[in-house]
Structure 1
Amino acid sequence: MLTPVVRTLILLNVLAFVFTSQPVIEQFGLHSFLSDKFQPLQFLTHMFLHAGFGHIFSNMIGLFVFGPMLERVWGSRRFLFFYMFCGLGAALLYLGVNYYEMSRVYALVEEYRANPTPDAFWGFVESQASAAYDQLEGFIDAYTKNPDNQSFQRQSLSFVNGRWERLIDSPMVGASGAIFGVIMAFGLLFPNTELLLLFPPIPVKAKYLVLFYGAYEVYSGLYQAQSDNVAHFAHIGGMLFAFILVKYWGSQRKMFF
């Protein structure tokens, strides 16, 4: 049976999804600190937006399965605080890692702007846009044979600048950080509870599920392919902040709420 806060959160996410459009995501999704589109309000609003049906479905299933038991144990106020704490913590870690990664990319962009050469362009494509190599192969060959061609230089600069703008202006959306926090808390409080997986349909203890999720997200965050559009460090942030808060609450003799 759904508990009050879980029911309300699912309803808000579903309603937001119904009215979500690309302009809404662009305005209220979480942007990089380096983007002109960043607004502090996005720390909150991004948690109620989703990129597609599969995205919202998987998140709401996680909240539906793991959330009610936590809310019954903690109470509604404490559970809501925990959910928002994990979501905001996930956003902070994501933006911190994003700032570090984008600062390194910006250094490459500035370096290329100062000295646009075929070798430097190939190096940028290889490190930051490898998926586009096939469509750029002909251009790179022509540019290599004519390194002083100003038209090629302008086209390469246009590509590099466009790639940079797409990277910093791509918003992150979803409740995944908060949901992964909920999963982590469930695993910490009910480690030996057996859960039936869908694929494959076998029972597994909650603590092992959490361990698997955590290991997978760390690996994916460190070694993800450029085609991977998942904000793995937001997931890690949600789990990390959940671990900290659950352990902190566990060390207290009294409930705060």
Structure 2
Amino acid sequence: MGRLTDAIKHLLIINVLFFVATQLYGDQMYLWFSLWFPESSNFRWWQIVSHMFMHGGFMHILFNMYALWAFGSPLESAWGRNKFLFFYFSAGLGAALLHTAVNYYYFNEGLEALVNSGVSRSQVLETLKNGQYSPGWNDIVGRDTVDGMLSAFNTPAVGASGAVYGVLVAFAFMYPNAELMLIFLPVPIKAKYFVPLIILGDLFFGISGANTGIAHFAHIGGALIGFIIMWYWKKNQFNKNRWN
């Protein structure tokens, strides 16, 4: 966890450039490059990738970039640039897919509840696409259901966290006995225990529906794809020379 490898260096630079541009252009950057719900008028196909380079604040990008450097550099050194980039973006795409799938669940739960209560589907969709909602919906299907639908539709996802979670899983596969520490628990924990612990935390908060402002299922999606790829590579004794 010392040398700055080639792919990591370029990923850091691109993330910093996006962050600086976000500070300069603000909301317009979030409209263009965050990952919006596919039914939203703000959605664009490139957001599936571009959201990985967007961050919500200085601490957000700081923690993600530190983790990318600390855990990604040993992987790139072991695998090579191309294999690492394939893995990184695969985990990021997995994060986007699971996050969007969960949003579809909450969105459709609210939409179907309203439709079954006699509200026109087209009316609901048109209202949402205009950036509005009807307070009367709360009385019809309950505030929690409406809040879940609105959050899924209106809240964009940003950050490299999903891809970084995939990197964490790969690190635990490659270096299971490396000792790591949580900020709030300054006791060394082996990677093979540390990584499952933080993923279980995301799973708990994601299922509980806690309003933490964190896309927990994006983290889980990145970790899941990371696990599947590492399991496949290990099972098939993947030849890293293919990526050179």
Q: Could you say which TM-score interval applies, normalised by the shorter chain?
A: 0.7 to 0.9
Q: Which moved more, 1:38-47 or 1:109-118?
A: 109-118
Paired position in structure 1 for 2:129? none
Q: Which residue of 2 aligns with 1:73?
A: 78
Residue in 1 that maps onto 2:27: 22
Relative to the length of structure 2, the TM-score reads 0.83
1:250–1:119 distance in 2 versus 1, CA, 3 Å: closer
Q: TM-score, normalised to structure 1's length?
A: 0.79
User: Are the structure 2 counterparts of residues 113 and 239 from structure 1 closer, same or farther at C-alpha, using a change threshold of 3 Å?
Assistant: same
Question: More deviation in 166-175 or 89-98?
Answer: 166-175
- Which one of the candidate residues 143, 161, 176 is aligned to 1:176? 161
- Tell me which residue corresponds to 1:215: 200
Aligned mates of 2:57, 2:31 — CA distance in 1: 14
CA contact (8 A) 1:67 1:182 kept: yes
Give, in angstroms, the shift of residue 109 of structure 1.
3.6
Secondary structure of residue in 2 paired with 1:202: strand
Structure exhibiting the larger radius of gyration computed from Cα positions: 1
Q: Does 1:31 align with 2:15?
A: no
Change (3 A) 1:173 1:114: same
Residues 1:228 and 2:209 aligned together: no
Q: Deviation per CA, 1:75-104, whole angstroms, max 9, x where unpaired? A: 111001110110011101111111121111
Distance 1:39 1:201, change over 3 A: same
Counterpart check, 1:187 vs 2:187: no
Count how many residue pairs are aligned between Structure 1 and Structure 2.
223
CA change 1:165–1:26 in 2 (3 A) is: farther
What aligned pairs does 1:21-170 form with structure 2 within 5 A after superposition? 21-111=26-116, 114=119, 121=139, 123-129=141-147, 167-170=152-155
CA distance in structure 2 between the partners assigned to 1:230 and 1:112 by the alignment: 31
Amino acid across the alignment from 1:18: V
Q: Percent same amino acid at aligned positions?
A: 39
CA distance in 2, matches of 1:57, 1:171: 20
The one-letter code matched in structure 2 to 1:9 is L
Provide the alpha-carbon RMSD of the alignment.
2.4
| Structure 1 unaligned residues grouped into runs of 5+ | 130-162
Counterpart residue type for residue 222 of structure 1: I
SS at match of 1:173: coil
Cα shift readout 1:130-167 (whole Å, capped 9, x = no counterpart): xxxxxxxxxxxxxxxxxxxxxxxxxxxxxxxxx96664
- What is the CA–CA distance in structure 2 between the aligned matches of 1:91 and 1:178, rounded to whole Å? 9
